Each structure stands twice: as C-alpha cells, then as structure tokens.
Structure 1
Amino acid sequence: TFQNGRTLLSLVIAKKQDGEALDGANLLPALSQSGIPMYTAGARGFQVAAFESRGFLVYTVSDLSQTDNLGVLAALAPSLQNFLNQMVA
C-alpha cells in the first residue's frame, strides 16, 4: 500500500484458485496492454483495476480516478506478468 498525502493505492497479488478468472467476475473489460486484458470496477469510493497471469490475479485498488488507477496497473502489468509467469513455470 502506498500513500501520498490524501491519495491511497494498494497493489494486491493473489494466487488463483481452481476455476478463478476475471472474465465474468463483475469487472468491466477496459483495455489490453501488451496483450494483457485488464478489467475495472468501482466499489465504495475506490477504483479497482485487475489482470490475471497463469497463476495469479493482480489488482490495484485506489482512490485515484478510474483512468489513473488503470494507468498505474497498465504501466506495471508487462513486468509483473513476466515475473509471475516465471514463478509458475
């Protein structure tokens, strides 16, 4: 979790359980960064952006705008995807 004054952002990496996937998880498809589909949703004043790798679900949760929160995840996604895919290889 990162906090800068009044802005809060958390990066969450969770191991996927059998059958877990983001498509159909009440998240809206937002964009594809480097071939990685990303999803967004809002909940209780926070913005959520997410993508999945082979074995993990990755989220940013923040009080940033939807665009800014998604931008943070889009910037991190390619490197995180590569790292996480190596962990399950």
Structure 2
Amino acid sequence: MISSESLIKGKTYYLIGFYDDALKIPDIETYIYVGKNLLSDDGAWYFQCPQTFLKQGPFNELPPGDYSVMRADEDTLEMMYDSQGIVNLLTNLQEA
C-alpha cells in the first residue's frame, strides 16, 4: 500500500484487487499518478491510464475529452502499490 505523501506525479502505480475471497488470484491495473484536487477541491488523487498519458500527456493539461481517469480516495490508496510494493505483494502470494 502507498501513502498519499509518497505519491510522485508521472510515476506508475498499481491498483490491486482480488478475484477470490482467499486473496490468492490478483487483479492488477496500472495507472500513472497525475495529481491531487485536479477537478475540484475534493481531496481526491487522480490517476490516468498509461495509454492516454503516454500518447497525450496528463489529462488536466489537455482540452476536455474522454480520458481514462481514476479518482482515488483514502480507501482506494490502501489498494494501490508502487513498483517495489507490487513485487513484494506478488512474492508473498507465491510463497503462501
């Protein structure tokens, strides 16, 4: 899990969910961190899918359009990991 203080704009993060109740089969989505409070002063963190981020740049610097953006709150951040965190999580799953 990542802390809000450790987020770095433009860095890759991973949202982890699980398909099973035993938490053995992960569902992993990749996002790029874009910033906080970008659409309003809502206290949310915003992440963008890598495809549009790499092709067009951060959505908040582009004209209005259809961009794949995820609004994250504190609960969502608890399910997000940086590169080292995802490696540790997957290693622990493999060993269990």
Q: TM over 0.5: same fold?
A: no
Answer with 1 or 2: which has the greater Rg.
2
Q: TM-score, normalised by structure 1?
A: 0.30
Q: TM-score, normalised by structure 2?
A: 0.29
- Higher relative strand content: 1
- Higher relative helix content: 2
Higher relative contact order (CA 8 A, sep 6+): 2
